[in-house]
Amino acid sequence: MMDIAPPVIGALVAGAFSAGLVDAIVGGGGLILIPLLMIALPTVPEPSIIATNKVASVSGTTTAAISFLRRVKVDKFLLTWAVPLALACSAGGALMVSVVDSAILRPIIIVLLLAVGTYVALKPSFGESSAITQRKAISRRRWFLALMVIGLISAYDGFFGPGTGTFLIISLTALLSRSFLESVAMTKVINVSTNAGALCVLAATGNVMWLLGFVLAIANICGSVAGARLVISRGTGFIRIMLLIVVVAMAGKLTYDLFNG
């Protein structure tokens, strides 16, 4: 591992735990850990920061996905198609990191986050469990549209990333009439693929700080377990509140970066 002072390691471990906790609930963990890594390791190139974060993220996300699959009924047919699609699209997005400046996406993502937050806040019934018992059969067109959106979001995750989990949760809830709890569970499974796809590409370029990544992964796993238990025990109302908090935080952080980056 790099020559990093123990207090800095402690701060990064705490950040990785917090990132895992938040990410397991509504996504957005990278918003915590990536800035911490950049502050703690100012001389390390950004691709290495992102790649090392992915080591922690894929570990925590896998743990959260397993926890959800044990306790929440998910659409296995959708995941059969979505998982390999997400893997391929995320890897493709990661290949674009060195070609396209991710800063061009910030204004678009800010607008989308604000739109998502406004919609969720103004429609209290969105994502409620009661909608599940009333939903009608999903048309083939909506299934195809859902897979297209999953592919686009997965490519975005490999390329840039902030808000991926949130966008997946909202998309699955809206397009397939799922509850927030179902959508969070399926999002974690899809996120395993998006993180793995991007990590494979970034690892091939030699950008990963593996030892630091493994240390942060342990903390991230612990946070993910705690987050998954909170979601399962608290339900959709808790998810809604956390979703709105994370959306506001992400929009604020990206806006700050836009004008100060």
User: What global pTM score does this model have?
Assistant: 0.87
Domain extent listing, the chain: 6-260
Q: How does the average pLDDT of the chain come out, rounded?
A: 87
Measured CA distances, 147 to 6, 28, 52, 131, 142 (Å): 44, 21, 28, 21, 9
Instruction: Give the pLDDT confidence of 194-222 residue by residue, as tens digits.
Output: 999 999 998 888 778 999 999 999 999 99
Label residue 122 by pLDDT band (50, 70, 90): confident
pLDDT at 133: 44
Label residue 68 by pLDDT band (50, 70, 90): very high
**Tokens 């198609």 map to which residue?**
81
Instruction: Give the pLDDT confidence of 86-107 residue by residue, as tens digits.
Output: 999 999 998 887 677 767 777 8
Instruction: Give the pLDDT confidence of 235-251 residue by residue, as tens digits.
Output: 888 888 888 898 888 88
